[in-house]
Amino acid sequence: MRRLAVFALVAFACMGSSAVAGNLSGKTVVIDPGHNGGNTTHHEITGKQVWAGTLWKDCDADGASTGNGYSEAQHNWDVALLLRSLLREQGARVVLTRTSNTGAGPCITRRAAIGNQQRADAAVSIHADGSLNASNTGFHVILPADTGQSQRMLRGSQRLGLAIRNALRDQGPTSISNYIGSDGLITRSDLGGLNLSKVPKVFTEIGNMRAPHDAAAMTSPAGRQLEASAIAAGITNFLTSRRG
């Protein structure tokens, strides 16, 4: 069944079940809404080269957009606000890496530094993909490669990524990616937000903004609620489950 037809019903169910189960009092979660609404007009800021741990990259990027102009930066911000509310309801202390969708940046180095400075128990960067091939659909979760981080960080990120992948697979608005990664997971060594992190961190890419079904999920308030609820459920599972 196409998930779009049941967005509203499932979003309501998610808000009342696993997404709000557990007690996150005393936990700090850093949410990193990728890109920013002003990036496209401030390339003098975002085009600055920074060291991303394994290579030099632009400070930040413009991000993708749907065919009707809904930007990835706006999507990431909208989902981050929903996710923050869900986590706060469980007692978590939540820190965002940016405070609006009207500025530029911050640089990828600063985004990683915020999680480190806050000594986050978990950090999640919210994104969407922009493949021009509309048949490329579905979500994937990006895990950090071993580029010199501690084994504790890498093991924590693996657990966090699996927990979020499972929640997105079971209750998210899009299916597992059919074009990138394996079973909804991929490891990358070119992302400064992961390479420079000292705390457990992953990226979520909820789908392809150029694919009609995925775009419908991202532009729908109910679809974004499903996304936020699933990510919250994954974070909660990671922070409250016993380690194996």
Q: What is the mean pLDDT of residues 139-151?
A: 98
Residue 72 a catalytic site member: no
Q: Could you tell me the domains of the chain? A: 26-240 (3.40.630.40)
What pLDDT is stored for residue 122 in this prediction?
98
What pLDDT is stored for residue 17 in this prediction?
41
Active-site residue, selected from the candidate residues 72, 89, 205, 227: 205
What pLDDT is stored for residue 224 in this prediction?
98
Closest Cα partner for 162 from 144, 189, 143, 177?
143
* Percent of the chain's residues with pLDDT above 90: 90
Q: What is the 3-state secondary structure (H, E, C) of the chain?
A: CCHHHHHHHHHHHHHCCHHHCCCCCCCEEEEEECCCCCHHHCHHHHCCEEECCCCEEECCCCCCECCCCCEHHHHHHHHHHHHHHHHHHCCCEEEECCCCCCCCCCCHHHHHHHHHHCCCCEEEEEEEECCCCCCCCCEEEEEECCCCCCHHHHHHHHHHHHHHHHHHHHHCCCCECCCCCECCEEEECCCHHHHCCCCCEEEEEEEECCCHHHHHHHHCHHHHHHHHHHHHHHHHHHHHCCCC
Contact 142, 105 (CB under 8 A): no
User: What's the pTM value of the predicted model, to 2 decimals?
Assistant: 0.92
Higher pLDDT, 15 or 189: 189
Alpha helices, DSSP H, located in 90-181: 108-117, 151-171
Q: Residue 132: pLDDT above 50?
A: yes
Mean pLDDT of the chain: 93
State pLDDT tens for residues 26-65.
Answer: 999 999 999 999 999 999 999 999 999 999 999 999 999 9
Alpha helices, DSSP H, located in 57-107: 72-89
State pLDDT tens for residues 202-229.
Answer: 999 999 999 999 999 999 999 999 999 9
State pLDDT tens for residues 71-92.
Answer: 999 999 999 999 999 999 999 9
Contact 96, 31 (CB under 8 A): yes
